Structure 1
């Protein structure tokens, strides 16, 4: 055998050895993970807690109510850290899903698939769309809509009325009024909803996603709870925040900070809040037959303000109020 052929054989043998080592390591890691999951689930069932981004996580853990499990306090899966513990003697598994609907749906489905989950509480902050609500208030909506699923047509295009929930005509927003707008029109359409309670592989059109009605009734007991009003001694909200149950919320992969679009959402869908995850968590939970509720603190006016958006100033306070509401809700659950 020549030196060149010998070198190629040696290189191939090295690669094969590496693949064997990798496969063995992967297999061992998967076996370890499955064993941990088995041990964790044997201590269940759990209530799933899902936030979105670091300030909400900080607010939740800042309450000191979460007590980690002494055996397996966390498990890292697909880049996310699932934390196992208790809150007010309720067994919980907490995860921060990340911003946007894809992250929210992926984390929710992963939680439902891998852990013994009997319900999900999704919480964090949101933009305020309803003039009767204020920054710092808590909303626990009865319904959510995904308002980011569109057909976008030309200015002279035809809208199919059969599947149109609402439509936005860009020409309406021309300044000065009159003329055409080549952005045309957007029509808001239904989701395709698959469910464990429906026919397999057959979707039904759905626009308003309902949270669990029993849990919503439990949430009404929180309506008089005390909420934080001040960031510090020198910066407070003008009035005491309130908690409201039973309004509507909207979700899309859009951070809304535009007064005109804020008004459009309110008048077209009669919603009180806007965020980027809730509808995805609700839809994924309901699809799996899992009870779900959403608790959001209003951090800003979604573009309805004069000047800069208030999320950086009042976001932490809204997140703390949401976390406090979650703790009170868990206390009320049987």
Structure 2
């Protein structure tokens, strides 16, 4: 990191003083590149399809049982299945656990199939103590809290001279979200075909604002508005048909479909009450998992509409809930998630 900081500063200073050409990143983004042709050659299948990514195999199996005209493809060791589901052309796969697996799988799907949209569905922990095991959360946006500046002290970092300024490192803090101890949340730099030539971040060197990042600096990734509206419509139609979660014959709970605020994803399996409370209170998180925000960022980078559904398995970091065992063992979660996914696809296909 020290070497990176030094190279950024040296490049910016020499650019500002006019001694040499501007830094490589500036040249790359300010030049006039050859634009790829509009007709993209998809590597496997060029038919427009809705991409469906499931986190767990049983849920994908349930969706595949209702899919007709199936055809299997193995790409980089992962199986992708095309077909027709609820009248819509689809391609279905599993993400694998972790942010990296989810990002890799999503990009593979985008490169090999022409996607009209992306739906991600799976199980998650709850950040919101008012929600219940079995509830399905449809978050309005997704955020990755492990994108941080991890400092030695709890004071606002001043890596570039002024408190809160870390721009000379190519980074930007989001000061609207309070830090967790010495971890200061920072925005994510993301580029796509629409924003790649826009200056996202500058740093001040010799009284000049020098570009250090292009594209956008984003705090979170909102789901597609049309998909959100369809999900909101489907929520009212589907909620009462979900299977109940039963800890015993006498104790059952009817799950709800919740139109939530934020979903949270990161590389850590969350089993800590204090951090759960932080994510819920300050990031407005309703659910936590290890994949969805990565899928959201890849979809945004490729300008593909996306939405995600997450069934809650437990309250992250809480003491054991007897409903959790019943939830996993019964398969109800997977069936409810598949039911919601199919209801969404049917409505999506009707309104497209």
Q: Which moved more, 1:309-318 or 1:239-248?
A: 309-318
Q: In the alignment, does 2:343 pair up with 1:328?
A: yes
**Which residue does the alignment assign to 2:68?**
67
Tell me how far 1:246 sits from its aligned partner: 4.2
TM-score (norm 1): 0.76
**Structure 1 alignment gaps of length 5 or more:** 1-34, 170-184
Whether contact under 8 Å (2:134, 2:245) holds in the other structure is no
Tell me how far 1:205 sits from its aligned partner: 1.1
Secondary structure (helix, strand or coil) at the match of 1:116 reads: strand
State the Cα deviation string for residues 79-134 of structure 1 (Å, max 9, x = none): 10011111111110011110111111111111111111111101111111112211
Please identify which structure carries the higher helix content: 1
Q: Which structure 2 residues correspond to residues 159-174 of structure 1 after superposition, within 5 A?
A: 159-160=157-158, 161-162=164-165, 163-164=173-174, 165-169=177-181
Taking structure 1 as reference, are residues 293 and 156 closer, same or farther at Cα in structure 2, changes over 3 Å only?
closer
Aligned-partner Cα distance in 2 for 1:203–1:195:
7
Q: Which structure 2 residues correspond to residues 151-166 of structure 1 after superposition, within 5 A?
A: 151-155=149-153, 158-160=156-158, 161-162=164-165, 163-164=173-174, 165-166=177-178
Whether contact under 8 Å (1:104, 1:277) holds in the other structure is yes
Aligned-partner Cα distance in 2 for 1:235–1:251:
35
**Which residue does the alignment assign to 2:268?**
254
Q: In the alignment, does 2:188 pair up with 1:187?
A: no
Secondary structure (helix, strand or coil) at the match of 1:247 reads: strand
- Out of 131, 139, 145, the position equivalent to 1:133 is 131
- Out of 323, 327, 338, the position equivalent to 1:314 is 327
**Structure 2 alignment gaps of length 5 or more:** 1-40, 159-163, 166-172, 198-212
Taking structure 1 as reference, are residues 90 and 130 closer, same or farther at Cα in structure 2, changes over 3 Å only?
same
Taking structure 1 as reference, are residues 142 and 204 closer, same or farther at Cα in structure 2, changes over 3 Å only?
same
Taking structure 1 as reference, are residues 36 and 158 closer, same or farther at Cα in structure 2, changes over 3 Å only?
closer
Q: In the alignment, does 2:230 pair up with 1:215?
A: no
Aligned-partner Cα distance in 1 for 2:186–2:307:
24
Secondary structure (helix, strand or coil) at the match of 1:272 reads: strand
Q: Which structure 2 residues correspond to residues 106-125 of structure 1 after superposition, within 5 A?
A: 106-125=104-123
Larger-Rg structure: 1
Taking structure 1 as reference, are residues 309 and 240 closer, same or farther at Cα in structure 2, changes over 3 Å only?
closer
Aligned-partner Cα distance in 2 for 1:46–1:289:
15
Whether contact under 8 Å (2:42, 2:114) holds in the other structure is no
Secondary structure (helix, strand or coil) at the match of 2:178 reads: strand
**Which residue does the alignment assign to 2:74?**
76
Tell me how far 1:47 sits from its aligned partner: 0.4
TM-score (norm 2): 0.72
**Which residue does the alignment assign to 1:286?**
300
Taking structure 1 as reference, are residues 236 and 215 closer, same or farther at Cα in structure 2, changes over 3 Å only?
farther
Secondary structure (helix, strand or coil) at the match of 1:167 reads: coil
